[in-house]
Amino acid sequence: MSAVVIGASGGIGAALVAALREEDVPVRGFARRFAGADRLDLDDESSIAAAAASLVAPPTLVVVATGLLHEDGQMPEKSMAVLDAGWLARQYAVNAILPALVAKHFLPRMPKSGRAVFAILSARIGSISDNRLGGWYGYRMAKAAANQLVRTLAIEERRRNDRTIVVGLHPGTVRTALSAPFQTGVAADQLFAPDRAAVQLLDVIDGLKVTDSGRLFAWDGAEIQP
């Protein structure tokens, strides 16, 4: 087994790299904050392509651990009255387009036979059937798009390697900068430290079957419906 983590400088991404190394799994982490060959600029497709091309061996696990919920004072929308085209586009770019471009360049680098996993960190909030509160328009829309991406990638990848599993993973609420403004109302037993979240996600990945490809799973292994 060998692994790649995209977004390895973030809370969950860094914890995933650490957890994999603790299990003696060779892992390569990419992030915008990194230098040299390990730098991957989210807004530059040529950077994503170069990162994929720099791999010396096919990874059997790729995790896209990136995400955007708030930025530069922009917060999740509470109502349609505050919708802004630029902010909607920015959320879509990071939460849906970036994983798509990572898939474009990294999935072809993965093994052509045998078990492999390509996982995108998604969110339960992207589930249309689970939406009972409304609000958070851009994040909901972008994560719903990411979940559709997972399904579509799974169908195409099956033609290249029918043992590859493409999934979305919901890590729960993790004590990171992404969730920092929203942690107050979260029960203590539902607010996970990054190292615990990483282990939980890897446990889910370990238990995946080929028939799980194209689906979305929570941190506890429960499937989330679209």
CATH of the domain at 31: 3.40.50.720
Cβ 147 vs Cβ 96: under 8 Å? no
Task: Convert the pLDDT of each residue in 114-165 to its tens digit.
Answer: 999 999 999 999 999 999 999 999 999 999 999 999 999 999 999 999 999 9
d(CA 32, CA 38): 8
Enumerate residues 6+ apart whose C-beta is below 8 A from 103. Answer: 64, 118, 120, 149, 153, 166
Contact 109, 159 (CB under 8 A): no
Residue 55's H or E segment, with its range, is: none
Nearest alpha carbon to residue 165 among 206, 109, 121: 206
3-state helix, strand, coil in the chain (%, to 5): 45, 15, 40
CA dihedral 210, 216, 221, 223 (to 10 degrees): -100
Whether the CB-CB separation of 19 and 198 falls below 8 Å is answered with yes
Tens digits of residue pLDDT in 28-76: 999 999 999 999 998 899 999 999 999 999 999 999 999 999 999 999 9
pLDDT of residue 47: 96
Domain range holding 19?
A: 3-224
What is the model's pTM?
Answer: 0.94
How high is the mean pLDDT of the chain?
95
**Nearest Cα to 40, choosing from 19, 59, 54, 27?**
54
The count of domains in the chain is 1
The residues that bridge with 41 in the sheet, in sequence order, are none
Taking the CB of residue 23, how many other CB atoms lie within 10 A of it? Answer: 11
CA dihedral 223, 193, 9, 122 (to 10 degrees): 20
Nearest to 91 by CA among 40, 145, 128, 33: 145
The per-residue pLDDT for range 164-189, each reduced to its tens digit, is: 999 999 999 999 988 888 887 788 77
